[in-house]
């Protein structure tokens, strides 16, 4: 997959500021109704859909730093609002390392308090985040606890579907070959028994690291 060039750095920085302003305040009334909320990095071009055989490179340098600062500011503001509720809450930054544009702030209360606890696989052999690598933001990063987890892509043994769901048999068998080749690569496998005669298999492929901060 080819990478597209990114132009208009000043415009992107302005978009980051607007994104931060738009999301800095937690809608507590809506949260009490839905019991969960999140904010992703809705900043073009990083939030754009990937079309064709090309994609935008991940944020780097000043742009990456400004986005991370925005995530930290949103986290701090949401924390202040959640503390006023005087009830248990889940509030984390999901900081994707290799796929930084997927990073987000996530919160939950009530019936969804533990909803996100199993979102990521957390290896027993925990690694430690290098907090000194975040420049001027290191001091803020050090005020939080960070847990190591895996950024994974998930499939199961029904992912390719049935032959009748495809336009042509050729499309089906092409997808099946791709899937079988994918399964030859390193991955985690989980098998769940649905009944005495039926099981479901789940396959998780590692993309990189997610640091969960709270």
Query: What digits encode the pLDDT tens for the residues 61-93?
Result: 999 999 999 999 999 999 999 999 999 999 999
Q: Which pLDDT value is given to residue 48?
A: 65
**Which is nearest to 75 in space by CA: 64, 91, 63?**
91
Residue 175 has pLDDT above 60, yes or no: yes
Q: Which pLDDT value is given to residue 136?
A: 93
Same structural domain, 34 and 113 = yes
CB atoms closer than 10 angstroms to residue 161 = 11
Same structural domain, 95 and 20 = yes
- Reported confidence tier of residue 162, pLDDT bands at 50, 70, 90: very high
Place of tokens 């009748």: 164
Confirm whether 75 is domain-assigned. Answer: yes
Confirm whether 89 is domain-assigned. Answer: yes
In order, the DSSP letters of 2-15 are EEPP---HHHHHHH
Confirm whether 128 is domain-assigned. Answer: no
Confirm whether 143 is domain-assigned. Answer: no
State residue 86 phi and psi, 5-degree precision.
Answer: 55, 45
Please tell me the number of Cα atoms within 13 Å of 142 on its side-chain side.
Answer: 10
Predicted TM-score (pTM) of the model is: 0.85
Q: Which pLDDT value is given to residue 194?
A: 74
- Residues near 83 by Cβ (< 8 Å), separated by ≥ 6? none
Residue 69 and residue 63: Cα distance in Å, rounded? 10
Same structural domain, 110 and 61 = yes
Confirm whether 138 is domain-assigned. Answer: no
Same structural domain, 16 and 86 = yes
Confirm whether 133 is domain-assigned. Answer: no
Share of the chain above pLDDT 90, in %: 80
The structural domain count of the chain equals: 2
Output the average pLDDT for the chain: 90
Confirm whether 24 is domain-assigned. Answer: yes
Confirm whether 131 is domain-assigned. Answer: no
Domain span at residue 169? 154-203
Residue 212 and residue 122: Cα distance in Å, rounded? 10
């Amino acid at each position: 997959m080819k990478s597209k060039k990114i132009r208009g750095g000043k415009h992107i920085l302005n978009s980051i500021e607007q994104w931060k302003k738009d999301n800095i305040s937690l809608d507590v009334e809506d949260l009490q109704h839905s019991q969960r909320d999140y904010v992703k990095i809705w900043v073009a071009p990083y939030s754009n859909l990937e079309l064709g055989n090309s994609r935008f490179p991940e944020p780097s340098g000043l742009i990456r730093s400004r986005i991370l600062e925005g995530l930290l500011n949103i986290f701090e503001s949401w924390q202040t609002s959640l503390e006023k509720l005087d009830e248990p809450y889940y509030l984390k930054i999901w900081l994707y390392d290799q796929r930084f544009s997927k990073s987000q702030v996530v919160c939950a209360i009530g019936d969804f308090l533990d909803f996100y606890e199993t979102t990521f696989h957390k290896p027993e052999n925990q690694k430690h985040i290098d907090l000194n690598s975040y420049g001027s933001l290191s001091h803020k990063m050090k005020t939080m606890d960070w847990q190591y987890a895996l950024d994974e892509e998930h499939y199961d043994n029904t992912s390719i579907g049935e032959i009748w769901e495809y336009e042509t048999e050729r499309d089906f068998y092409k997808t099946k070959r791709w899937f079988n080749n994918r399964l030859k690569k390193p991955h985690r496998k989980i098998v769940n028994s649905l009944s005495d005669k039926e099981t479901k298999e789940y396959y998780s492929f590692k993309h990189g690291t997610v640091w969960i901060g709270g």
